[in-house]
Amino acid sequence: MNVRQIAPNIYWVGVIDWDTRYFHGHSLSTHRGTTYNAYLILDEKVALVDTVYTPVADKLLENIRQIVDPAQIDYIICNHSEVDHSGAIPHVLAAAPKAQIYCTQKGAEFLEAQFHGGWDYHVVKTFDELSLGKRTLTFLEAPMLHWPDSMFTYIKEDAILMPNDAFGQHYASSGRFDDEVDVDEMMEEASKYYANILTPFSSLVAKKLKEVADLGLPIKMICPSHGVMFRQNPGLILEAYQRWSTAPAEGGVVIVYDTMWGSTKMMAEAIASGVDAAGVPYKIFHLPVSDRNDVIEEIMRAGAVAIGSATINRGVLPAIAPLLDELVGLRVAGKKALAFGSDGWGGGAVKVINEYLDKAGMQRISEGVAMRWRPDEAARKALQEIGRQLAESIE
């Protein structure tokens, strides 16, 4: 892959990963691959902002060599120590023996705990600056966006923000900039990324956005560590983050379920019919044939959610359990919710779903609907009414 100049003497030297289909172990689907972005700044001093994932370290070094001998690198700025950005640091250091690492206190601790390198860490705090000669790097700590060690690097003279994971997308593309890709496709990935990674930290995202806005820093370009860079319209992703972090729901009902012999599916469809009658848009997902991370994004954007499962062993079917776990982890607080499910004699699934909805801080509109065997016409009518109530509960 060719390197790309993004401003005079500033280069994208990252790596495009067209192949990866899962991230964070197997917990996050990445249908469109990803990129690991790293940036090289040439000045009186040479700085590398972030590196790449370990298996593609050689590609990073090849890219750097197209511009400068890596031995010339003076500083490695580590905005975030997760290995998709720090994994190549040992390889870069081997080629750049004089390089010093700049990172937050937590960054130094986390890098040492992962690599045991005993490296020369220079710990920085918010507003600390590092002069490269004609250019100055300003550091802004951004704890829990999305790790305690995260920080942003801002290049004052070029008004370029390098915020690492924030504003990123798992999106491999031939275009490197927002004006070179399908913007709708790119924003779809940005939305999924936010929903699945940043949702638990929405209040901190909103606070950080305000903090940056209050600083009045001009931002001509946003260069995250995954996906494309925003040079045509950085406001697009800033506004989206503002919206997602403060009022993530855009309306509509998501109905997600698993069924054993079709009864819970009939319940899902009857609830949907009631939502439809209320004039509210809805989507139905049969979870075993859906992508869980895509469904999570849909839930984040929905005004209300209904989750259904047939009962097995007094609990939920196996496809439903990971979704419930993630909703608790992602803290989907405040969203209107309904549990439903069919059973034969003992029941239990609706009780389990309710417990998870409560743990996630969601607002249940009722005790849920646990139904025996197959819903008859009267039961379907009752479910339609509940679907209508769920739709009308959206504020």
Q: Is 225 in the site for ligand FEO (CB under 6 A)?
A: yes
80 carries an active-site annotation: yes
Cis bond before residue 146 (omega within 30° of 0): yes
The minimum distance between CB 36 and ligand FEO, in angstroms, equals 8
Q: CB-wise, 25 or 97, nearer to ligand FEO?
A: 25
The minimum distance between CB 224 and ligand FEO, in angstroms, equals 9
The percent of the chain in helix, strand and coil, each rounded to the nearest 5, is 40, 25, 35
- Inter-residue contact 160 to 23 (CB < 8 Å): no
146 carries an active-site annotation: yes
250 carries an active-site annotation: no
| Number of residues counted as binding ligand FEO (CB under 6 A) | 9
Q: Is 84 in the site for ligand FEO (CB under 6 A)?
A: yes
Long-range contacts of 24-31 (CB under 8 A, 24+ apart): 28/170, 28/196, 28/197, 28/293, 29/291, 29/292, 29/293, 29/294, 30/170, 31/291
- Enclosing H/E stretch for 354: helix 349-359
Q: Give the per-residue contact string, 370-389, with ligand FEO (x = CB under 6 A; - = no).
A: --------------------
Q: Which of 59, 80, 336, 380 binds ligand FEO (CB under 6 A)?
A: 80
Q: Is 165 in the site for ligand FEO (CB under 6 A)?
A: yes
Instruction: For residue 42, give the 3-state DSSP assignment.
Output: strand
From the list 39-47, 79-87, 155-163, 174-182, the region that binds ligand FEO by CB under 6 A is: 79-87
From the list 78-86, 127-135, 207-215, 364-372, the region that binds ligand FEO by CB under 6 A is: 78-86
Q: CB-wise, 166 or 360, nearer to ligand FEO?
A: 166
| Choice among 84, 141, 149, 258 that is catalytic | 84
